[in-house]
Amino acid sequence: MEIRIREASIKDRERIIAFLKETSPDDYIFYVLDAWLNDKNGKVLIAEHEDKVVAMNHFYAKDTGEGWLEGARVHKDYRGQGIATKLAEYSLNYLAKMNVKKARLVTNSKNIAAQKHLTRTPFKLVSRWIHPHYETQSYVEVEPWKDFISVENFLMQSQVFASVGRVLHVYYSWFDYNASFLKQRISNGEVYFNGEELLIICPSHRSNNSMSISYLECNPVKLLDFFNIAYSLARKNDQAVEMLFMIPALDEYRNKLMKEKIDFSELLLYEAKIG
Ligand SMILES: CC(C)(COP(=O)(O)OP(=O)(O)OC[C@H]1O[C@@H](n2cnc3c(N)ncnc32)[C@H](O)[C@@H]1OP(=O)(O)O)[C@@H](O)C(=O)NCCC(=O)NCCS
């Protein structure tokens, strides 16, 4: 069976939509496909068999210089034939030509097919993250932290931060720590720090009126207090926002969430060195 992989253009839009309707009808990709097809820093790849789209993915280089892969989808009748692996390889080769040195992707811990597929690629598991489905946020008075150096020192000495690979999160995507990101958060009033516990939040660039937790390190007993602090820091000008909770997958956090009967999913962050 000859499967052809190529870079998609806006002309392929309707065929990709037809593929998604059949393969993954509730997919978030319907909402982002146009942005992906017009992406100046990346590509949508499609795999075709006899003029039919049978698989896709999207990759791009972030402003921070790292690659990100997402949206791998293979038609049910075409799985287990190495197509997703070829899409990942094509993406990494393309990123190499863009001088990108590493790329990442994320998958759900329950997605066994994706994890098996990733063992065939250069991607290695680097850290685990917890996404609590916490909705009962309440407002607390909180003063944003204004000093950059103390927060950077804390992060550089933190074992938890080292254990997750010194990455930060924004809207289901991760990138290497960089000082200018932290300075921006501090100047926006999006950091809470008390010398021992740290919370960083950030607007979710892909979604209006939504903020993400970029990093949280706190006493597990106070986890829900920190969720409320995150929500309160985000709720500027009295405007309600959605908060995307994402925290390092520490056992202590997991136990606390289970004790409080708060549902959560677990995400696996993978990284591939390029070149
Ligand atoms: C995950 C996915 C992209 C893999 O695509 P693929 O082309 O089948 O993957 P590959 O052929 O490159 O890798 C095949 C490996 O995945 C495993 N696999 C593929 N489909 C599977 C399935 N339905 N159930 C269990 N394992 C599966 C195979 O066991 C194989 O490993 P093995 O040969 O060592 O046993 C595909 O299953 C899919 O589209 N899933 C739904 C969307 C999704 O989960 N995307 C990934 C988000 S990170």
Mean pLDDT lowest among 59-63, 74-78, 207-211, 255-259: 207-211
Q: Find out whether the beta carbon of 110 lies less than 6 Å from any atom of ligand 1.
A: no
* CA 6 – CA 46 distance, rounded (Å): 6
Cα of 171 vs centre of ligand 1, distance in Å, is 24
Q: Find out whether the beta carbon of 72 lies less than 6 Å from any atom of ligand 1.
A: yes
Q: Could you name the CATH architecture of 131-273?
A: 3-Layer(aba) Sandwich (3.40)
Quick check: 230 and 201 in contact, CB under 8 A? yes
Quick check: 8 and 56 in contact, CB under 8 A? yes
Q: Which H or E element spans position 268?
A: strand 264-273
Query: Which ligand 1 atom is at minimum distance from the Cα of 108?
Result: 48
Quick check: 264 and 131 in contact, CB under 8 A? yes
State the pLDDT at residue 37: 98
pLDDT tens profile 138-195: 889 999 999 999 999 999 999 999 999 999 999 999 999 999 999 999 999 999 999 9
* CA 167 – CA 182 distance, rounded (Å): 12
- Spatial neighbors of 45 by CB under 8 A, at least 6 apart, are 5, 6, 7, 8, 56, 57, 58, 59, 87, 90, 91
**Cα 195 to the center of its chain, rounded Å:** 27
Confidence of residue 67 (pLDDT cuts 50, 70, 90): very high
Q: Name the phi and psi angles at 197, rounded to 5.
A: -130, 140
Question: In the chain, which residues fall in CATH 3.40.630.30?
Answer: 4-100
Tokens of 162: 């080292």
Q: Is the pLDDT of residue 82 over 70?
A: yes
Mean pLDDT lowest among 116-120, 218-222, 239-243: 239-243
Cα of 235 vs centre of ligand 1, distance in Å, is 40
Q: What is the mean pLDDT of residues 249-259?
A: 98
DSSP for residue 145: P
Q: What is the mean pLDDT of residues 192-202?
A: 97
Quick check: 168 and 177 in contact, CB under 8 A? yes
Quick check: 240 and 218 in contact, CB under 8 A? no
Q: Which H or E element spans position 257?
A: helix 251-259
* CA 156 – CA 14 distance, rounded (Å): 47
Q: Which H or E element spans position 96?
A: helix 83-97
Q: Which H or E element spans position 33?
A: helix 29-37
**Third-level CATH fold of 4-100:** Aminopeptidase (3.40.630)
Q: Find out whether the beta carbon of 107 lies less than 6 Å from any atom of ligand 1.
A: yes
Q: Find out whether the beta carbon of 117 lies less than 6 Å from any atom of ligand 1.
A: yes
Q: Whose CA is nearest to atom 22 of ligand 1?
A: 113
State the pLDDT at residue 210: 87
* CA 4 – CA 83 distance, rounded (Å): 10
Q: Which H or E element spans position 175?
A: strand 173-176
Q: Find out whether the beta carbon of 80 lies less than 6 Å from any atom of ligand 1.
A: yes
Sign of the CA dihedral 36, 37, 38, 41?
positive
State the pLDDT at residue 206: 64
- Average pLDDT of the chain to the nearest whole number: 95
Q: Whose CA is nearest to atom 17 of ligand 1?
A: 113
Q: Find out whether the beta carbon of 74 lies less than 6 Å from any atom of ligand 1.
A: yes
Q: Is the pLDDT of residue 105 over 80?
A: yes
Q: Find out whether the beta carbon of 222 lies less than 6 Å from any atom of ligand 1.
A: no
Q: Is the pLDDT of residue 208 over 80?
A: no
State the pLDDT at residue 3: 96
Collapse the DSSP code of 30 into the 3-class scheme (helix H, G, I; strand E, B; otherwise coil) and give the result: helix
State the pLDDT at residue 238: 63
Collapse the DSSP code of 137 into the 3-class scheme (helix H, G, I; strand E, B; otherwise coil) and give the result: coil
